[in-house]
Amino acid sequence: MGPPSDARKNLREPERRPCYNRRVKSRLHVLLEGRVQGVFFRGQTESWAAGLGLTGWVRNRPDGRVEVVAEGRREDLEALLGLLRRGPSFARIDAADVRWLDPTGEFDSFRIRRTDD
The CATH number of whichever domain residue 40 belongs to comes to 3.30.70.100
Q: Give the whole-number percent of the chain exceeding pLDDT 70.
A: 80
Query: Would 7 be classed as within a structural domain?
Result: no
Query: Would 12 be classed as within a structural domain?
Result: no
Residue 88 half-sphere exposure toward CB, CA atoms < 13 A: 17
Catalytic residue annotation: 42, 60
pLDDT of res. 94: 97
Query: Would 3 be classed as within a structural domain?
Result: no
pLDDT of res. 115: 87
pLDDT of res. 1: 54
Band of the pLDDT at 4, cuts 50, 70, 90?
low
Query: Would 69 be classed as within a structural domain?
Result: yes
Query: Would 57 be classed as within a structural domain?
Result: yes
Query: Would 15 be classed as within a structural domain?
Result: no
Backbone Cα Rg of the chain: 21
Query: Would 4 be classed as within a structural domain?
Result: no
What is the pTM assigned to this prediction? 0.80
Distance CA 30, CA 81 (A): 8
3-state DSSP assignment of residue 79: helix
Count CB-CB contacts under 10 A for residue 46. Answer: 19
How many domains would you assign to the chain? Answer: 1
Band of the pLDDT at 3, cuts 50, 70, 90?
low
Query: Would 13 be classed as within a structural domain?
Result: no
**By residue range, what is the domain housing residue 92?**
25-112
